[in-house]
Structure 1
Amino acid sequence: MSMGAYDEDEHERREEKSTTVDTDFDDERNEYRGKVEFDSGDSTEALLDQFKEIKENN
């Protein structure tokens, strides 16, 4: 087998593989129920002060 024949076969194999669509997956949407809470913590000014302090130390 010559190198040119290998390239053509490989190209055709990859093209065929990339054009097929895999439909073996579950197409149902997941429904999540619950509640998300977060604490915003410090005020914007306090966070900016902390950021400035970190930048000064580095």
Structure 2
Amino acid sequence: MSMGAYDEAEHERRERMTSQVEPGTDDDRKTYRGSVEYDSGDSTDALLEQFKRMKSDD
């Protein structure tokens, strides 16, 4: 077997190994319960002004 043939076979073997992904135990989806609240009372202009103040504090 020449070195070039070994390299190609090894490359193909590794490609097969890395293309097969088995799910792990930590890949299970979790069920989340709760609620999300947000306040949309501020106008866009007020939010932009707040953002500018925050940026100027840096």
The TM-score, its normalising length taken from structure 1, stands at: 0.45
The TM-score, its normalising length taken from structure 2, stands at: 0.45
